[in-house]
Amino acid sequence: MTAVLQAEKLSKQYHMGTVTVDALRGVDFHIEAGEFVAIMGPSGSGKSTLLHLLGGLDNPTSGDVLLDGRRYRGMSDDQLTLIRRRQIGFIFQFFNLLPTLTAAENVALPLVIDGKRPEPEHVSGLLALIGLGDRHDHKPHQLSGGQQQRVAIARALVTQPKIVLADEPTGNLDSQSGQAVLDLLRRACDDHDQTIIMVTHDHHAAATADRVVFLKDGSIVNTLDMNKTDGKTRTQTVAAVMADLEL
């Protein structure tokens, strides 16, 4: 397999008055095409900061991100915008659906923003895929939280991005809705060879991934291959590593 996304000595500092906060400290790792990676760690460990840097939503203090071997550093704002529009899909904990648009219109929005005409069959097919084929004309307030998050996933997938970045996608959902979201992400990886990078605090959610990367104080402190569970369930394996690392 080929590395699709790489972090090279990635560091990020925030300045709060006279205080400097090191959100990330020289992070090095790579993600292979078609891989499902979960990122775990306590609050303030740098999980969301790392995700934002990988998606080109923020600039590192030092180090770099490479997408298919192309460095973000030195790219213009327009170049990064096109990457975010066409190659990366984003899913956030708070669904960020536009309340005045229908489910179908929310799904099609990234294409509209990119100046493309959405194919109704493509949008309808995605809604059917996420189990909302009969909610085509419903607005967000007419949908449950789990349904809204599934619409957000369809919106992230509509441009057929090679990479999907998900920040706590099950954080506001009940267990049944959360499982449906995890199943969708797993299928995007397995059936469409999309690369999934998911920040989560939940052991069960992380167990869906192929690999779990553990962050603490802005540094990677362990990496877990989920194919090696040593007789434990996948969820138990993740929980055991978290406990060993005191995360």
Which domains can be identified in the chain, with CATH numbers? 32-59+75-244 (3.40.50.300)
Q: pLDDT value at position 228?
A: 77
Q: pLDDT value at position 177?
A: 85
| pTM of this structure | 0.91
CB-CB contact of 230 with 25 (8 Å): no
Tens place of pLDDT per residue across the chain (247 aa):
578 999 999 999 998 888 998 999 999 999 999 999 999 999 889 999 999 999 999 999 999 999 999 999 989 999 999 999 999 999 988 888 999 999 999 999 999 999 998 899 999 998 998 889 999 999 999 999 999 989 999 999 999 999 999 999 988 888 888 898 899 899 999 998 999 999 999 999 999 999 999 999 999 999 999 887 766 788 888 988 888 888 7
C-alpha to C-alpha distance for 80 and 6, rounded to whole angstroms: 16
CB-CB contact of 199 with 164 (8 Å): no
C-alpha to C-alpha distance for 109 and 101, rounded to whole angstroms: 9
